[in-house]
Structure 1
Amino acid sequence: MYKPGEDTPISLYEINRGRIVRTLELIQDVIVISLCIGLFSFMVLQVRDMFLSLLPPLDFHVVTADILFLLILVELFRLLIIYLQEQRISIGVAVEVSIVSALREVIVKGVLETDWSKVLATCAFLLVLGLLLVLRVWLPPTFEGIDPEQQVSKLYRNRLKTELSKNNSH
């Protein structure tokens, strides 16, 4: 069973840890897939409601709110798809969803009916989100093979393997 120098407790721990991490990632993917299916189903229901709101008598605020809400759902769906493909949250898409959500609230409630402090806070919020969207262009991407977390993890694993090989050789 146990042969000295072959299976150290740390290497067995790494094997079990890898299996646990893969299992948890699989469970997480199943959760995200179920969210995608639920969100898609909700979007279909929302499209039906939107077409029903287009029937006379036509209420502009309801139609506009439905269209903007559907756009928010589409962006959230895209965010989940990107997460499934790249195992990361897209900052750009998240900021875009936040901008559309804030604008939807302003449009639905109306700028003239909203308190001036809320309009000012919404403007500041939109400015910050716009700044984040512009700054995101200059931030280095964490995909396309340039993942700082994975690079640090590889360095740590290499250092751990080096230390283990030194300890085993002594």
Structure 2
Amino acid sequence: MLKGLVSKLNTWLQRNIIVRNLEFFQDFIIISLCLGLFCVMLIRLGDMFFSFLHPLDLRQVTSDILFILILVELFRLLIDHLQQQRTSVTAAVEITIVSALREVILRGVIEIPRDQIFGIAIFLLVLTGIMVALPWISRFLEQVKIPHPETTEKTQLLAETHLTSDYL
């Protein structure tokens, strides 16, 4: 009984070390992405200001501004992920909506074929539906409280440890 408990504890500890190392590597990747996005934002901002020296193309300036805002939102999404160790679905949906609208503005509504406009409209409606339904889904999941398998395994291990210590 005690050997089984020790082997389960060792397995849990090894799994914990592996997960911690993977999270560290993931944080390293996210920090690298943040630095890369920051550099791209600075380059695009400089290009946008240099484009003011030429005759203004309102569509291009609007597209550049939206692109920089998308990069800022992606940067914010990565920072939030570093702080909270989870990704905000609403922020990702917002970024996707703005990205789709940027492409429409960049190409122009008149130049895009009708079936693509229809597809973009359906895509935006689905994303809006996700944003509207997300609070209801999260409230439902909080009420259900589905236990995570790893949590129940830890609880069982602690209960077995408590039972064996009572008999010793």
TM-score, normalised by the number of residues in structure 1: 0.84
Partner residue of 1:72?
70
Cα distance in 1, alignment partners of residues 146 and 69 from structure 2: 32
The residue type equivalent to 1:162 in the other structure is A
Cα 1:42–1:96 shift into 2, 3 Å: same
Alpha-carbon shift at residue 150 of structure 1 (Å): 7.4
Cα 1:14–1:25 shift into 2, 3 Å: same
Structure 1 unmatched runs, 5+: none
| Matched residue count | 163
Alpha-carbon shift at residue 7 of structure 1 (Å): 7.0
Q: Conserved in 2, the CA contact under 8 Å of 1:79 and 1:93?
A: yes
Does residue 119 (structure 1) correspond to residue 136 (structure 2)? The answer is: no
Superposed counterparts of 1:67-146, under 5 Å: 67-140=65-138
Superposed counterparts of 1:1-170, under 5 Å: 8-140=6-138, 152-163=149-160
Summarize deviations over 1:10-30 as a string: whole Å, max 9, x none: 211222221111111111111
Cα distance in 2, alignment partners of residues 24 and 149 from structure 1: 25
The residue type equivalent to 1:47 in the other structure is L
Cα distance in 2, alignment partners of residues 149 and 96 from structure 1: 28
Summarize deviations over 1:55-105 as a string: whole Å, max 9, x none: 221111211111111011011111101111111110100000000000001
Q: Conserved in 2, the CA contact under 8 Å of 1:53 and 1:62?
A: no
Cα 1:7–1:163 shift into 2, 3 Å: closer
Q: Conserved in 2, the CA contact under 8 Å of 1:68 and 1:104?
A: yes
Q: Conserved in 2, the CA contact under 8 Å of 1:69 and 1:104?
A: yes
Give the root-mean-square deviation of aligned CA atoms: 2.8
- Identical aligned residues as a percent: 44
Query: Partner of 1:118: helix, strand, or coil?
Result: helix
TM-score, normalised by the number of residues in structure 2: 0.85
More relative contact order, 1 or 2 (CA 8 Å, 6+ apart): 2
Q: Conserved in 1, the CA contact under 8 Å of 2:5 and 2:157?
A: no
Query: Partner of 2:138: helix, strand, or coil?
Result: coil
